[in-house]
Structure 1
Amino acid sequence: MFQNICAIPLDHELFTQAIHPKEPIVSVGLASGHVQTYRLPPGASDDSDEDATLASENGFGHIETTWKTRRHKGSCRTLSFAIDGTQLYSAGTDGIVKAADVATGNVTAKIAVPLDPATGSIDAPSLIHALSPQTLLLATDSSALHIYDLRDLGPKASPKPQQTHHPHDDYVSSLTPLPATAASTSGFSKQWVTTGGTTLAVTDLRRGVMVRSEDQEEELLSSVMVTGLSRKGTSVGEKVLVGGGAGVLTLWERGVWDDQDARIIVDKSPGGGESLDALALLPEGIGPGGKIVAVGLGNGGIRFVKIGPNKVIADVSHDELEKEGVIGLDFDVTGRMISGGGKTVKVWQERGADADNEDEEDAAASAKRSHGSDSDEDSDEEMDESSEEEQQKQKRKKRKRRKGTQQRGHGILGFPGLN
């Protein structure tokens, strides 16, 4: 379904990536504390110059490093663009959230993350998400989920969270907003689904944690919302898909949150399936049609699952040599897939129909076989010891996760024609 048209090498291990909502821009957060922002070539346009349009459609062009800086002392754990794309929020193991101007990278505001009340030490962020122009969600390792009013941000202010919830007993591993209802006046989401440990939860902006699922006996790692599905029986045509630690994708009907209603085995490797670390819904008009979800695996593979038939229809590999897990998976405004893992970010372009048919045949055969300060002034030459420790901590956590699921039984930029 997709062919790789570019590989962006990174100096340090990738911890997080974010895709701009309106422009072909990707930002990455690294284990060294660096944040780097790249502008990709534009996608297909209405330009009358046929040669320029063809070059754009085939991935030709120049990648610009818009800016790079060492933003955090320690690892940069998570990134999120503002709804309008003007700000980039980053959070690191230094316990600081920073807002930066996307065009320049200059810091415009900071938030000091509340300390872990149990230990009195830094409560490292695990996830950050801009829910609306007014609301920022921040989750931490202690399982806290803080809600901030972005209108309180400023160059000298460090606002306190308006609310704090604990939807899970473990850190929040993923967050997916639920689409606004027809009754909404703002059009922005006021409820969201989170996964953490072995449970799924739904939280409301005003009412707090509304429901938490039964124990799924498998770590839940990633999630994505799929709308426009068939409305049969009691189905409302909207489901949240959740990736687990043992290679299983579960489907949850919106409004029925106590337990999953369907399961899709994405990976059935001997000794326990690979973890499903990242999920992304293919944009309309991309792929062979229908609702298709891209799934990033812990072994560096990417598989495509068609919802309805509930089967794997194709796969590609982000990392064939090192087998580093795919921790970032998104689509930019042009429909290109952006995958991240290890020390590489890759850009993928959709292939033709003939190649897609070959992918489906290969996937079917495979399924049968496997059934503090503005750290811009800090030195860029060395990575803090704390960052190295954080990398090892993340790797140990991943090994532990895989072991647990088994016991339960369950640079060179490669655009062709690069200027």
Structure 2
Amino acid sequence: MTMGFRNLDSSDEYDSDSSNFSEENVIGDEDNHGLSDNDSSNSQDMNENDSGEDDDDVVKAIKAEKNKPRDHPPTINTEDFIVDICFHPSNNLIAIANIVGDILLYEYSNEETKLVKTLELHLKACRDVEFDDDGTVMYSTAKDKVIMATDVETGKLRQCYENAHEEPVYKLLPLDNNKIVTGDDSGTVKLWDLRSQNPVFTLKIGEEYISDMITNEAQKYLVCAGGDGILTSIDLKASKIYSTSEQYEAELTCLGLFRTETKLLAGSSTGKFYLFNWKEFGLHSDEYIGQKHSIQCMIPITQNIVVSSGEDGIVRAAHMFPQRQLGIVGQHNLPVENLDISHDGQYIASSSHNDDVKFWNISYFESIDDLINVNEKQNKRRDMINNLPSSTVKNASDFFSGLL
């Protein structure tokens, strides 16, 4: 996966608690607010005598919200469970890897999403799909222990490693100069040069699965998060372990870089974020409560803002410096496993257990980042349920704020 931004279809709903309303709950029927014909007539008579003008304004406000032009691609619905997604680094193309071993390539625009190619690459469930930096090669791996490099334009195989690991590969990360690193279910990391059939090095760094891997532009250190709750860094130049962190209380699930790659953020299955200084991976410098449920995935949006999601299906945004919840970017009905950001930074895509991929237009974050007041006291409860412009679910107060 790579990194992205804003919106959702009008059919999506979220009923988190009494302070958050779905469109159905707030709106009812657009014309009579969910009343029967008789009730509607009686209500209309009462409105004419009492507050008909106010009701007319409410209806206008609701319709105005519903009739705003689409600002994001339509949802993609698939037949099979989605394991991973990845945006192309320069074109409006997204790769979707599924549980039957196929990778679907979709073109997307504001008006439509169109399947352009289906690649039947693996015999078992895919685990990860990634593009190289220029988008000419697509890498994939699966439970069949095979790593493939496929030409994006022709669909032809460029390289194939069968039985690449003794255990299924869980995570794959492309590097520069035709190199990739892979981590498997049993804590083994391998560095590959596509011009050779054998790995450059093999390191056993733990006993649990490698959940995520990340490096910076210099690509000297590779940082690996593990199911054992340990953050391990590898010196890629020296082909050896650089440092090992303390063991955390739960799995470390995902990683992201911030502040011009000087800060590393790790998400966990307890809903906590741990912040590390780059090259100081032994112990975190700060920690935050991100949410009550497991954080399964994250994506940096700006140098300060992270979007994350997980078991509750809610896609949330948080400012990390200072730490503050910004609100809900969007929502799924089931857990979210993957997030990615488009090449132009306009959209985030998220995939859930509903076998769907939703797009959110997040361009508004460019202005939000500059408006954060570091001295303002946060109302965390309010911000946790606040719906940002990308979410089609509206707080009841949104409809009335300009009418009172």
The residue identity in structure 1 corresponding to 2:127 is: R
| Partner residue, 2:265 | 241
Give the alignment of 1:42-57 within 5 angstroms.
none
Residues 369 and 227 of structure 1, relative CA distance in 2, 3 Å threshold: closer
Whether the 8 Å contact between 1:167 and 1:203 is mirrored in structure 2 is: no
* Residues 1:108 and 2:183 aligned together: no
- Give secondary structure in 1 for the equivalent of 2:112: coil
Residues 352 and 170 of structure 1, relative CA distance in 2, 3 Å threshold: closer
Structure of greater Rg: 2
**CA distance in 1 between partners of 2:312 and 2:249 (Å):** 22
| Partner residue, 1:332 | 342
**CA distance in 2 between partners of 1:305 and 1:82 (Å):** 28
Matching residue within 158, 179, 186 for 1:135:
179
- Give secondary structure in 1 for the equivalent of 2:195: helix
Matching residue within 207, 210, 218 for 1:172:
210
Once the 2 structures are TM-superposed, how far is the Cα of residue 369 of structure 1 from its aligned partner? Answer: 8.3
* Residues 1:205 and 2:273 aligned together: no
Matching residue within 252, 262, 266 for 1:220:
252
**CA distance in 2 between partners of 1:28 and 1:369 (Å):** 30
* Residues 1:3 and 2:53 aligned together: no
Give the alignment of 1:290-301 within 5 angstroms.
291-301=304-314
Matching residue within 5, 11, 15 for 2:83:
15
**CA distance in 2 between partners of 1:8 and 1:68 (Å):** 14
Once the 2 structures are TM-superposed, how far is the Cα of residue 316 of structure 1 from its aligned partner? Answer: 3.1
Once the 2 structures are TM-superposed, how far is the Cα of residue 223 of structure 1 from its aligned partner? Answer: 0.4
- Give secondary structure in 2 for the equivalent of 1:334: coil
Matching residue within 287, 292, 295 for 1:263:
287
Count residues in correspondence. Answer: 307
Structure 2 residues not aligned, in runs of 5+: 9-71, 387-404
| Partner residue, 1:93 | 143
TM superposition score normalised by structure 1: 0.68
Once the 2 structures are TM-superposed, how far is the Cα of residue 318 of structure 1 from its aligned partner? Answer: 3.1
| Partner residue, 1:66 | 116
Structure 1 residues not aligned, in runs of 5+: 42-58, 117-122, 153-158, 181-188, 229-236, 268-272, 284-289, 371-419
**CA distance in 2 between partners of 1:345 and 1:104 (Å):** 25
Residues 151 and 227 of structure 1, relative CA distance in 2, 3 Å threshold: farther
Once the 2 structures are TM-superposed, how far is the Cα of residue 331 of structure 1 from its aligned partner? Answer: 1.0
Whether the 8 Å contact between 2:327 and 2:385 is mirrored in structure 1 is: no
CA deviation digits over 1:176-226, x for unaligned, max 9? 11232xxxxxxxx13211100210011111222111101112210000011
| Partner residue, 2:107 | 39
| Partner residue, 1:233 | none
Give the alignment of 1:114-129 within 5 angstroms.
114-116=164-166, 123-129=167-173
Whether the 8 Å contact between 2:315 and 2:330 is mirrored in structure 1 is: yes
| Partner residue, 1:402 | none
**CA distance in 1 between partners of 2:259 and 2:75 (Å):** 32
**CA distance in 2 between partners of 1:302 and 1:220 (Å):** 18
Whether the 8 Å contact between 1:314 and 1:362 is mirrored in structure 2 is: no
**CA distance in 2 between partners of 1:252 and 1:362 (Å):** 23
CA deviation digits over 1:3-38, x for unaligned, max 9? 223210011111111121222221011011111111
| Partner residue, 1:341 | 352
Once the 2 structures are TM-superposed, how far is the Cα of residue 106 of structure 1 from its aligned partner? Answer: 2.4
The residue identity in structure 1 corresponding to 2:350 is: S
Whether the 8 Å contact between 1:34 and 1:76 is mirrored in structure 2 is: yes
**CA distance in 2 between partners of 1:33 and 1:8 (Å):** 18
